Amino acid sequence: MLAQRMSLLSESGTAAAREAAKVAAAAGREIVDLAAGEVIIAPPKTVRDGAVAAIEAGINRYTDSIGLIPLREAVAVKLTASTHVNWTVDNVVITNGAKQALFDAMLAVVDPGDEVIIFKPCWPTLPSQVLLAGAKPVFVDVKGPTYIPTIESVRAAVTPKTKAIILNSPNNPTGAVYDRAALQAIGDLAIGYQLWIISDECYSSFVFNGHPHESIVTAHPGVRSRTVLVNAFSKELAITGWRLGYFAAPPDIVSAAKKLQSHTTSNANVIAQHAILHHLKVTDGVFEKGMFERLSRARTDGLAILARLADVPVPQAEGSFFFYLDLGKLLAKLPTRAPVKTVDDIARLLLEETGVASVAGSTFGDPTGLRLSFGAPPELLLPALEKLVGSLNALKSRQAAA
Ligand code: PLP
């Protein structure tokens, strides 16, 4: 018999969407994967060089469970520069990706029975981790086109059991970037009710609204003592499989993570740690700039194609690398007895008909959304979006005829 907690979880829905795409590809279909949560590009040479040098030097041993001190120092410097808040090595923990950083944070701050506020649509790992910690996710629905919660809706979700709020800006899946006023209002609320803020900022390198990313601790420095700021190198340096993330937090949380990681994973992979340390020492920022420019262009060109969709508003896509479509109006116009009724049906149809893999909003708790990654290679992305627009625009008439 499995532990009861396991029945509360399902496998990541994005993994399931990608699995369906793999099955179709294995059957000989040409598939364009717009379901992936990663930019399809080789990692920077500096990272690869750092890894090779560490391997050639025979580096092989455990590190401190929360990471190499020079790497923690380098991350503290990087975060101090990007947040304009001072962090030291004592605030930083190196983790196996942002995922472990989030889970450390969750286990460190919540007790069984506590409630944690999550904005929905949400990346499905967030509520799953709350459940794994024995706590209860409390969802606050956010709506397009901005997908930013009103402070009234957040306040209405607070109860005496609320322990934390999870923020994710830039957001997966919606592409929302919270503005300063929203961050400050959430910060005030967290202080007023003495809540923790777990701020997942792992798409911080990808903000396309003309401003640099703003962390909640920058917008509202008063929350720093109650914030766990989570980030990773996974997306920023296109090394999702290398598993290297981090968080910055008050020293109590760092001590808790030290215990947790010492009993679960020990340290993050030592070669990856050295590779990133080397990168941080020598990078001239050219890779990061190139990646940003590629995504910016893909976003602009992709939005121009998506603007031709009928009955689907053009997404704002201010941050991360996702176009998040709201298909509510389109679904409402389909005949009630048509074979395609849900976003899952639409994601399946698109895969079958156009070979485009997407992620249905149901994965994120949203019955009308559809997520498309613009991290795919541009030469594949744009034709795929053209086909998708053609297929969705034809849907109403074909369903009526069916
Ligand atoms: N947070 C969000 C919002 C994500 O979308 C992802 C990955 O898709 C992660 C965290 C996990 O990042 P990592 O691969 O660094 O564990």
- Give the pairing of strands 227-232 and 196-200: parallel
- Give the pairing of strands 369-373 and 359-360: antiparallel
pLDDT tens-digit readout, 381-400: 999 999 999 999 999 777 77
Residue 307 confidence class, pLDDT cut points 50, 70, 90: very high
Q: Is the pLDDT of residue 69 over 70?
A: yes
Task: Give 74's Cβ-side CA count (13 Å radius).
Answer: 18
In this structure, the residue with its CA closest to atom 5 of ligand 1 is 172
pLDDT tens-digit readout, 342-381: 999 999 999 999 999 999 999 999 999 999 999 999 999 9
**Mean pLDDT of all residues in 200-211:** 95
Residue 219 CA, chain-centre distance (Å), reads 20
Per-residue model confidence (pLDDT) at position 246: 98
Per-residue model confidence (pLDDT) at position 17: 73
- Can you name the residues that pair with 199 across neighbouring β-strands? 167, 229
**Which residue from 14, 234, 322, 324 has its CB within 8 A of the most atoms of ligand 1, so it is best to mutate?**
234
> How many of the other CB atoms lie within 10 Å of CB of 195?
22
**Which residue from 103, 104, 118, 235 has its CB within 8 A of the most atoms of ligand 1, so it is best to mutate?**
235
Ligand 1 atom with least separation from CA of 244: 15
For residues 367 and 361, the answer to whether their CB atoms sit within 8 Å is yes
The whole-angstrom separation of Cα 244 and Cα 94 is 7
Q: Which residue, 108, 346, 99, is CA-closest to 235?
A: 99
The whole-angstrom separation of Cα 373 and Cα 384 is 11
DSSP state of 145: T
Mean of pLDDT over the chain? 95
The whole-angstrom separation of Cα 243 and Cα 100 is 9
pLDDT tens-digit readout, 244-298: 999 999 999 999 999 999 999 999 999 999 999 999 999 999 999 999 999 999 9
Structure tokens at 30: 């040409």
Per-residue model confidence (pLDDT) at position 139: 98
Distance 350 CA to ligand 1 centre (A): 25
Distance 30 CA to ligand 1 centre (A): 27
Query: Which sign, positive or negative, has the C-alpha torsion 120, 125, 129, 131?
Result: positive
pLDDT tens-digit readout, 90-124: 999 999 999 999 999 999 999 999 999 999 999 99
Within 6 Å (CB) of ligand 1, which residues are found?
A: 37, 97-99, 123, 168, 172, 200, 202, 232, 234, 240, 245
**Mean pLDDT of all residues in 78-83:** 97
Per-residue model confidence (pLDDT) at position 136: 97
Q: What is the pTM assigned to this prediction? A: 0.95
**Which residue from 202, 206, 237 has its CB within 8 A of the most atoms of ligand 1, so it is best to mutate?**
202
